[in-house]
Structure 1
Amino acid sequence: MTPHSTWQTVLCDSLEKVFPDQAPRPFTESVPLVAYRGQLASFQIAVRPPRLRESTRLGDVELEIVAPPGLRADVSVVDLVPNDLAAFEDADEGYLRTGPGLFPDLLRPAPHARLQPVVGQWRALWVDVIADAEAANGDQTVLVRVHSLADECVIGEFQVPVRVPSVDLAPLEIAHTEWFHCDGLADYYGFGVFSEPHWAAIENFLESAVRAGVNTILTPVWTAALDTGVTERRTPTQLLRIIDRGEEQYEFDFSGVRRWMTVCRKVGIRNLEIVHLFTQWGARATPPMIVDTPEGPEQRFGWHVPADDPRYRRLLEQMLPALRRVLDEEWGLDRVFFHVSDEPTLAHLESFATAWGIVADLLEGCTVIDALAELELHSKGLVALPIVSNDHADAFLDAGVPSMWLYYCVAQSRRVANRFMALPSSRSRVLGAQLYLTGAEGFLHWGFNFYNSFLSRRRIDPFRDTTAGSAFLGGDAFLVYPGPEGRPWESIRHRVVAEAFVDHRAMAMLARCTSDENVRAIVDPSADLTLTSFPADPDHYRRVAVALADGLVDAAGSQSSDQA
C-alpha cells in the first residue's frame, strides 16, 4: 500500500475482488505473473481517494504504464453491478458475501486508463498484460504509476513482476463449451435475426468466448429448446432452412449452417455442439422448429408436439442424415457433439428412454452427450458420454466411468467450484486443476450470454439484472455484457475462467513432456485436492502457474539438449 497524503493505492492480482467498502488483499510480489505469448496476464490497481475537500471535486486517476518491448497493456475499469441474489440461505462459509448489493464484475474498457474515484470507496482498474512474439523470455517488470490528475502528482508506484516463458502453450486438449445464445444478441441490440449486424455481433461474441478458453460452441441448427417455459417462446434463431415439399417430404438449405461454420473457423472454434433434439427436463416435446410452407413460415414443432409424434420422426429421418453429411464433409463429424435432452433425472427415465429410442439409429456413430446428475441414467446405457455436475461426479468417478465431462450451474452452490460473483475467484480458478486431476474430457456451462429471465419469461437488461429475474445467483447466467455496437464487455469471471483453462493447458502439456506424476506433484502435492476440497488461498494458484511454466521451460531445455 502506497499512501500519498490520504490517497491509498494497492496492487492486487486477478483473483482479488475489490469491494468498495473493504481494503483489498495486496499482490504477493514474490510470485510473478505468467504471461504466455498470446495469453492475458492480469493485475489490478485499487484506489481509495481522500476525503472530499470543501472546494475541490475529485479528479480522475490515470495509470501510466511502462512495459518492456513486446509487452503491452490494456486497461479496464472494474464497474460495480447490482446483485440481488448473491447466495442461497444454505450458503457455505466460502462466500465473500451472502447479501444483496453491488459487486465488482464488469470490465469496462478504459482506453485512456482513467478511473473516476468515489469518495470513501475502493475502486479498481484492471490491467491485462499481453506478450507478443517480440517479448523477451524470462523475468521482466512492468512499471505502473498512479496519477491524481486533480492533485497533479503521483499517488502510487508499483513494479509488477512478469515472467514470459520461452515456450508457447499447446491448444486445449479437452472440450470447453459455454452455451452461446444468439437470441440474446438479437433481442438486446434489436438486430434482425441473422442480419448482417447480428452476424457481426455473433462473431464478436464468439471471439470473446475463445478468449475465455472456449473451443466448442452450441450451434442453433434449430432454436434451442433450453430454459424456456412450456408456454414461453424464445426469439427463433434457426440456421437451417426446412422447406415443406408436401406429403411430409422436406428440402434443406444449409447456407446458414455453412456461414456459422465459416465464422467458427475464423475465430478458432474447434468443435460444434448441436442443440438438443428434445425439450429440456424430460424430453417430452419437440424443439421449436420452423418450416417454410407455401403459406409462409410455420412453427410446426415445439411444446405443442410430443416427442413421439410420428411426424417428427419422419422429419428426423430426412434431416439428420442430411445434416450429418454436411457436417462430416465440411467440418468433421469427429468434432461434432449431439444432444438428446438436457438434465434428465430418474423421474424422466421413461420419457428420456423414449426420446433416445427415436433418434438412436439416426445418430449411430456420432458422439452424443447430455448433462445429468444420476449415475443410473448412464448405467442403463441412455447417456454414453455423461456431462456430470461437479457435486455428483464422485459417484461416477468411484464407479470407474471411463469417459465423462463436468459441469456446474446455479444448483452447484455448496462446497464446489463455481463462478458466482459472491464467490472468491480462487473457487473458479481451481476448475482447471479439477478437470485435469479427474481426467474429465470436457467442461460445460449453460450461460455465456443468457439475457433472459428464468424460463425466458421476459428479456432482461444484464447491466441492471444479473440474476435472471432474481432466479439464479449473480454471475450464473452470463460471462459477458453486451457493450456498444455489438461488442462484448467482459467480466472478472470471464478472465478467471480463461486462467483456469490456461492452467489446464499447461498441466496437459507438461504431462506430455514429463509425466502425469510430475504434474500431480506440482498441482496437488498433498493429494487432497478434490471436487469438494481445494485451497482457498489465491497465491496457491499463482504459485502453481509459475511452477508449471518453469517446468515447461525446463522440459523444453532438456529436449533441446538431448537433440543436440
Structure 2
Amino acid sequence: MHFSVFSDAEWLYPDSAHSALSGISLHLPRGGHDGAQLLGGILSGTLSAVLRWDGGRGPAVRLYRLLPVGVNENTSPTLMTTTDYESCREFVTRKAPFEVFDALKPLTEPEMPDGTRLALYLCAEAAADETPGEYSGTLTVTVGADKAELSVRCTVHAPVVPPPAQARLSMLNFFDYDGPVRQHGLVRGGADYWQAFRSYVRAQLDMRCTHILLPPGEAVYRDGAPAGFDFSFAQQAGRIALEEGAAFLCGGHVAHWHEWDDSEYYPNWDSTTGVSTPQGYLQLRLYFSQWAQVIRANGWQGRITQALADEPQTHNDKTYRVLAAICRKFLPGVPILDAVETTDLGGGVDIWVPKQDTYEKWREEYTALQAAGEEMWFYTCAFPAGPAMNRSMDLPLAVSRTVLWMGALYRLSGFLHWGFNYYIGEDIWHGACCPHKGALLPAGDAHIVYPGKDGRPWRSMRFEAQRAGAEDYELLMQAVDAAPGEADALVRTVCTTFRSYARSGTAVAAARLRLFHLLEEVARNG
C-alpha cells in the first residue's frame, strides 16, 4: 500500500497523481498548527490510522478522512458563477464540474471499505508552552490486511501564536440558526439543537473566531402590529457562546433594504415601515430598549457589539445614520459593527468592514479613517468574484490562507465572512455552488463546514487554511512591531493586492518558514 504526501495549502483531487514525497515534514509555531495531506489508493478494507511519537513526546495530532465534494460551476470573472470555462480559465484551478477533497471527517473510529480513493489529513497542534525543537514519529495506516508506515518529522518553532482571546485579529463568521434544523433534522430550540449549537460554536472558536453572531429578537404581534420582542433564543445562544469561551458577541441585524440602491431601510419584522419614519422609530425604540435589558441582565456590557443592517451603500448611508442614532440612544457604549459599501458613515459605525475590493477601490479614504483611529476590518463574499481573494473551491487553496496576509499588510484588524454554515440547496456534497436569487454562489461561498454526524460540523480544508492564515496574521503583526519593512517585504513575496498573489502553497510555506526565522532572529537580538 503506497501513500504520497501533499502540502495542506494545495488542493488534492480524486484523480491526483502520486507525489514524490512519502515522508511527512511539518513546521509549526507554538500555539499553532501545521498539516499534511496523504493520498493512497482505493479503500478496499477497514481503515485505521495512528501516529506514535518517538519517546512518547510530541504535539497533539488530529487525523481526518478527506471526502470529495462536487464543484458544479466555476467562479465567474465578474459575478457569481459561469459555465464558460474560457472566460475564467486564467484564475480557476480546474474546469467544472469536478470533485475536490475539501470535507474533513474525523478519523475517530475504523472506517469501512467504500470503494473510493483514500485520502487523509494529518494535523499537528503545538501547545503555547510546547518545547521548541525536533520531534519524530511514525504514522501507521492500516487498510484491511495491508499496512503502511510513514515517517513524521515535526519542527516546533519558538514563536508563539496567542490564543483567540488575546489575538490581534478579530473574526466573525455569520451563523445560520436554521442550518441545524435543515441539515441535522433537529427541532429548533430543543435540547439536541442547543447541543449541536455548542459544537458549531466550538468549531468557530477553533477557526479563531472572536465574535459569535446572535440571532435578532423575534417580534411579538398584537392586532397585527409588533407589541414587543422575544429575545429568549438570542439570550440562550449568547450564554452558550460565552460558556464555550467566545470573547465577544454580536447582536443580529435588525433592518434591511429591499434593493441595494434603496434610500430607506426597513425593520426585519415590518417591510412596509421605514426606519426613518415616526412609526419606524417607535418600533426600533421598543426593540433596542428590550434588548438593552437583556444585555444588562446577562452582564454582557463590554462583550457585545451590534450589527444593524448589512452592507449600507452610498444610496442609503443617510438612513443608516438614522438607524445608528436610534441604536446609540438605547445601547450606549455598544460598538456598531457592519459590512459597509461606502466611506461616508463616519459616526454611524464603529467597526468598519469594507469588502476586499471596496477597500482597495477607496483605499485612500479608508486609510485616512484608519489613521484617525477608526477600527477597520474587511470581508469577502460572492462579489466581486473573478480572481479576487476568497475561499471559493475553484480558486487556489492557498488563497483561503493568504487573504489574511493581506489583512496584515493593510493593517486591517478583523475579518468577516457571511457563510459559516449556510447549507443552501438540495445536496451540497455534489453541488457546492449554492442557489441564490436565481443564480449560483461560487463553490463553498455559503459554508466552510459540512454537516457531520450527531449534529456536529465537519471542518474543511478551507477551514484549516483560514485558521492557519489567522495564526500567520498574529505572527506577521509581531514581525511588523519589530521590523515592519522586513515583515511587509515578506508578505509581498506571496501577495501584493487582493487580486495579485502566489497560487502555490509551496511559496506560502516557504514564506511562513522565513517568518519563523525572522521572529527567532528578532528574539535573539533582543
Greater CA deviation, 500-509 or 324-333?
324-333
* Unpaired stretches in structure 2, ≥5 consecutive residues: 77-81
User: Contact between 2:215 and 2:251, CA under 8 Å: does it hold in 1?
Assistant: yes
Greater CA deviation, 137-146 or 75-84?
137-146
User: Contact between 1:9 and 1:46, CA under 8 Å: does it hold in 2?
Assistant: yes
Structure 1 residues 8, 477: CA separation in 2 closer, same or farther (over 3 Å shift)?
A: same
* Partner residue, 1:275: 252
Greater CA deviation, 170-179 or 321-330?
321-330
Cα distance in 1, alignment partners of residues 332 and 33 from structure 2: 41
Equivalent in 325, 346, 357 of residue 391 of structure 1: 357
Secondary structure of the corresponding residue to residue 342 of structure 1 = coil
Cα distance in 1, alignment partners of residues 23 and 387 from structure 2: 30
User: Contact between 1:188 and 1:461, CA under 8 Å: does it hold in 2?
Assistant: no
* Partner residue, 1:202: 197
User: Contact between 2:75 and 2:442, CA under 8 Å: does it hold in 1?
Assistant: yes
User: Contact between 1:248 and 1:311, CA under 8 Å: does it hold in 2?
Assistant: no
Greater CA deviation, 463-472 or 491-500?
463-472
Cα distance in 2, alignment partners of residues 556 and 325 from structure 1: 48
Shift of 1:141: 2.3
* Partner residue, 2:177: 182
Secondary structure of the corresponding residue to residue 392 of structure 1 = helix
Cα distance in 1, alignment partners of residues 112 and 423 from structure 2: 28
* Partner residue, 2:79: none
Deviations 1:108-147 (A, max 9, x none): 122246585857xx54111122334785421222323444
Equivalent in 91, 96, 100 of residue 93 of structure 2: 96
Structure 1 residues 30, 66: CA separation in 2 closer, same or farther (over 3 Å shift)?
A: closer
Greater CA deviation, 58-67 or 412-421?
58-67
Letter in 2 for 1:408: T
User: Contact between 1:18 and 1:24, CA under 8 Å: does it hold in 2?
Assistant: no
Shift of 1:330: 4.4
Structure 1 residues 342, 550: CA separation in 2 closer, same or farther (over 3 Å shift)?
A: same
Secondary structure of the corresponding residue to residue 440 of structure 2 = coil
* Partner residue, 2:416: 444
User: Contact between 1:31 and 1:546, CA under 8 Å: does it hold in 2?
Assistant: no
Larger radius of gyration: 1
* Partner residue, 2:157: 165
Shift of 1:47: 1.2
Residue 33 (str. 1) matches residue 30 (str. 2): no
Residue 67 (str. 1) matches residue 33 (str. 2): no
TM-score (norm 1): 0.78
Letter in 2 for 1:316: L
Q: How does 1:417-428 map to 2 (within 5 A)?
A: 417-428=389-400
Cα distance in 1, alignment partners of residues 186 and 170 from structure 2: 30
Letter in 1 for 2:52: V
Deviations 1:357-406 (A, max 9, x none): 6546445644223223344x447x65564311112211332223314221
User: Contact between 2:48 and 2:142, CA under 8 Å: does it hold in 1?
Assistant: yes
Structure 1 residues 323, 159: CA separation in 2 closer, same or farther (over 3 Å shift)?
A: same
Q: How does 1:513-552 map to 2 (within 5 A)?
A: 514-524=482-492, 529-552=496-519
Letter in 1 for 2:281: R
Secondary structure of the corresponding residue to residue 121 of structure 2 = strand
Structure 1 residues 352, 483: CA separation in 2 closer, same or farther (over 3 Å shift)?
A: same
TM-score (norm 2): 0.83
* Partner residue, 2:440: 471
Secondary structure of the corresponding residue to residue 11 of structure 1 = strand
Cα distance in 2, alignment partners of residues 350 and 429 from structure 1: 36
Shift of 1:490: 1.2
Letter in 1 for 2:514: A
Cα distance in 2, alignment partners of residues 46 and 249 from structure 1: 59
* Partner residue, 1:18: 12
Cα distance in 1, alignment partners of residues 180 and 267 from structure 2: 20
Q: How does 1:305-384 map to 2 (within 5 A)?
A: 305-308=273-276, 310-324=278-292, 326-327=294-295, 330-349=298-317, 352=320, 355-356=323-324, 359=327, 361-362=329-330, 365-375=333-343, 377-378=344-345, 383=349
Residue 266 (str. 1) matches residue 243 (str. 2): yes
Cα distance in 2, alignment partners of residues 246 and 60 from structure 1: 60
Structure 1 residues 84, 279: CA separation in 2 closer, same or farther (over 3 Å shift)?
A: same
Structure 1 residues 31, 434: CA separation in 2 closer, same or farther (over 3 Å shift)?
A: farther
User: Contact between 1:175 and 1:271, CA under 8 Å: does it hold in 2?
Assistant: no
Cα distance in 1, alignment partners of residues 226 and 199 from structure 2: 39
Letter in 1 for 2:357: D
Structure 1 residues 302, 452: CA separation in 2 closer, same or farther (over 3 Å shift)?
A: farther
Cα distance in 2, alignment partners of residues 440 and 135 from structure 1: 29
User: Contact between 1:117 and 1:123, CA under 8 Å: does it hold in 2?
Assistant: no
Residue 488 (str. 1) matches residue 445 (str. 2): no
Cα distance in 2, alignment partners of residues 244 and 475 from structure 1: 41
Shift of 1:433: 1.0
Shift of 1:27: 5.8
User: Contact between 1:17 and 1:24, CA under 8 Å: does it hold in 2?
Assistant: no
Cα distance in 1, alignment partners of residues 112 and 134 from structure 2: 29
Identity rate, percent: 20
Instruction: Give the paired residue count.
Output: 500
Letter in 2 for 1:164: V
Structure 1 residues 134, 347: CA separation in 2 closer, same or farther (over 3 Å shift)?
A: closer
Q: How does 1:393-408 map to 2 (within 5 A)?
A: 393-399=359-365, 400-402=368-370, 403=374, 404-408=376-380
Equivalent in 202, 206, 211 of residue 206 of structure 2: 211
Q: How does 1:86-165 map to 2 (within 5 A)?
A: 86-88=74-76, 89=82, 90-91=87-88, 93-112=90-109, 116=113, 118=115, 123-132=118-127, 135-150=130-145, 152-154=146-148, 157-165=149-157
Runs of 4+ deviating beyond 6 Å? 28-31, 243-249
* Unpaired stretches in structure 1, ≥5 consecutive residues: 1-6, 50-56, 223-237, 289-300, 454-459, 560-564
Secondary structure of the corresponding residue to residue 124 of structure 1 = strand
* Partner residue, 1:3: none
Shift of 1:189: 2.5
Greater CA deviation, 422-431 or 502-511?
502-511
Shift of 1:215: 0.9
Cα distance in 2, alignment partners of residues 44 and 314 from structure 1: 56
Cα distance in 1, alignment partners of residues 299 and 509 from structure 2: 37
Secondary structure of the corresponding residue to residue 63 of structure 2 = strand
Shift of 1:438: 0.5
